[in-house]
Amino acid sequence: MTYVGHPASASSQAEHPGRATVKDVVAAYVGLTKPRVIELLLLTTVPVMFFAARGVPELWLVVATVVGGTLSSGSASALNCVYDRDIDEQMRRTRRRALPRHIVSPVSATVFGVVLGVLATVVLWAFVNPLSAMLALAAEAFYLVVYTVLLKRRTTQNIVWGGLAGCFPALIGWTAVTNELAWPPVVLFLVVFFWTPPHTWALALRYREDYANVDVPMLPVVARAENVGRQIVLYSWAMVATSLVLWPVAGTGLVYPVVAAVLGAAFLLEAHRMWRRTRGTEDLAKIQPMRLFHSSNLYLSLLFVAVALDPLLTR
């Protein structure tokens, strides 16, 4: 079921500013990297390094991992912007990005993205370890090929499986310290996997007209809000249950499970409240999906802070 009509022409919505200043161009290139996405990915990388080290990891290793991870995420985001520039011009949420505003050309953005990707691989391989470098490269390839090219415009499950790319930082943070994989980071990988649909669908519900205008079949575009709310609740329960599995699997202290339980209960309460608000209505003013979106950011932030603090407070 689609709730809005046909897309407006890209030319009618794209902005065509005059000559860009140096400041505009620098800001445009920074914007291509999607800094907020980078912040979120680093949030699930650095705390896991503390957890893997059972304390404070070496500063140089944290810096190298952060630099490599930032370059890798920025590369994937820049190349994603190049591929999606046609739909970004038509969406309110994205039409002020660099490519729709024609501040950066597609060729320049592509070169920028490729250079960042190469630098990321070199930094992680040389200063962290080859395993972390290959995981970062795999995450970038998965995001660009599987999500951006194959899934995003074809299926309502786009963010479910495409979101796997955003789970890799938990593995990278662990392997940066240990140079091997283990079950604890896999559990955290799954926490982010189950967290991604509620987080993204809440945002997509807010901007579903945008997605419908460009024929991207996000779940809120093709399903009623009540059905979206039900799916959000189901994934939220899976997320919270998985987060508690880390306690026995990793042998954490009591700090982590207590925080995880409290945060999980608060998030589930908000998810159920939003689901109730969707019943019998498609009015976004009543549903208030951004409440859940912001709650999801706070939940993941505090959960991974607990991951970092647990070994420091339970020695």
Residue 121: CATH number of its domain: 1.10.357.140
Domain boundary among 117, 150, 179: 179
CB within 8 A of 218, min separation 6: which ones?
Answer: 156, 158, 159, 200, 201, 204, 208, 211
14 located within any domain: no
Domain boundary among 152, 179, 206: 179
CB within 8 A of 138, min separation 6: which ones?
Answer: 168
5 located within any domain: no
Q: Please give the Cα distance from 92 to 149 (Å, whole number).
A: 21
4 located within any domain: no
Q: Please give the Cα distance from 15 to 151 (Å, whole number).
A: 28
CB within 8 A of 29, min separation 6: which ones?
Answer: 98, 104, 112
262 located within any domain: yes
Q: Please give the Cα distance from 85 to 79 (Å, whole number).
A: 10
Q: Supply the pLDDT for residue 20.
A: 72
Structural domain for 64, as ranges = 21-179
234, 87: one domain: no
Judge contact between 165 and 140, C-beta under 8 A: yes
54, 99: one domain: yes
230, 311: one domain: yes
48, 162: one domain: yes
Q: Supply the pLDDT for residue 7.
A: 36
Q: Which burial class, exposed, middle or buried, applies to 237 when counting CB atoms under 10 A from its CB (0-12, 13-18, 19+)? A: middle
161, 278: one domain: no
2 located within any domain: no
16 located within any domain: no
- The SS3 call for residue 18 is coil
168 located within any domain: yes
| Torsion over CA: 42, 248, 57, 262 (sign) | positive
pTM above 0.85, yes or no: yes
Longest Cα pair distance anywhere in the chain, in angstroms? 61
Residue 244: CATH number of its domain: 1.20.120
**Spans of the chain, pLDDT less than 70:** 1-19, 315
Q: Please give the Cα distance from 36 to 171 (Å, whole number).
A: 20
- The SS3 call for residue 148 is helix
237, 156: one domain: no
11 located within any domain: no
